Amino acid sequence: MTKYTPTRILLKLSGEAFCGPAGFGIDTTRLALIAGEIKQAAELGAQLAVVVGGGNIIRGAELADKGDIEQGTADYMGMLGTVMNGMALREKLVSIGVDSRVMSALEIKSVAEPFIKNRAIRHLEKGRVVVLVAGTGNPFFTTDTCAALRATELGCTQLLKATKVDGVYTADPKTNPEATRYERLSFDEALAEGLAVMDVTAFAMCRERNIPIRVFQFDVPGNIAKVVSGNSIGTLVTND
């Protein structure tokens, strides 16, 4: 049984967190913001594992939907996009004095360590930020599912999902001005209301393993540190 550490947190960053106004690629200003936020949290004593998406580089699901590329192949292409983001994040973290490691679910020895649970835990215990890339290493699974899986394996007590909005709403706040934000809700309530907190597989895994999910806005300075410090921001989804 994996031991759960109160300060061990899984941070899920989508690919769009890395891109600027252009909506594609890696924006150095955005990269610096992310790295700075992670540094603040690490300095507070949190053990941080970070799962990165790759949608700013390539969206495997969209390629597959067009029918030109088989889904399995498209998914592997998407995994390689996450590797690029992870390498960039690690370089920026190291440049500002944060010891970190990139661990990949696909074997790419030249740029990343293979993901091995016990090795990842040792890195975390030594205060290193662990950047997790290539998803689960298998096609047909999203990086949301990877985040839930790694949170379970590494004994994280909370999964932070960084998004473009400041939490979970009753409706899409972009199209419905009357939408209101939940400060807290249960997994059962989210299911009953059909709220898209994470993909179904990831959501079910967190629910079963009793791992709270906090959804918050990633581009607000200090937000990650606030969560680590115990402040209530965004929306917390729990079994309670």
145-149, 212-216, 226-230 — which is least confidently predicted? 226-230
User: Which residue type does 10 have?
Assistant: L
Rounded CA separation 175/177 (Å): 6
Residue 159 has pLDDT above 90, yes or no: yes
Check whether 74 has a pLDDT greater than 50. Answer: yes
pLDDT of residue 46: 93
Beta bridge partners of 185: 237
Helix/strand/coil for 131: strand
Q: By residue range, what is the domain housing residue 154?
A: 5-238
pLDDT over 90 for what percent of the chain? 76
Average pLDDT of span 59-73: 80
Segment 136-149 mean pLDDT: 96
pLDDT of residue 2: 55
Q: Which residues of 213-231 are buried (b: 16+ CB within 10 A; e: fewer)?
A: bbbbebeeeebbbbbbeee
Whether 23 contacts 58, CB under 8 Å: no
Average pLDDT in the 29-33 region? 95
Whose CA is closest to 163, among 53, 64, 17?
17
* pLDDT band at residue 103 using 50, 70 and 90 as cut-offs: very high
Asked if pLDDT for residue 63 goes beyond 50, the answer is: yes
pLDDT computed for residue 197 by the predictor: 85
Domain count along the chain: 1
pLDDT value of position 1:
47
Q: What is the pTM of this model?
A: 0.93
β partners of residue 213: 159, 237
Q: Residue 144 sits in a domain of what CATH number?
A: 3.40.1160.10
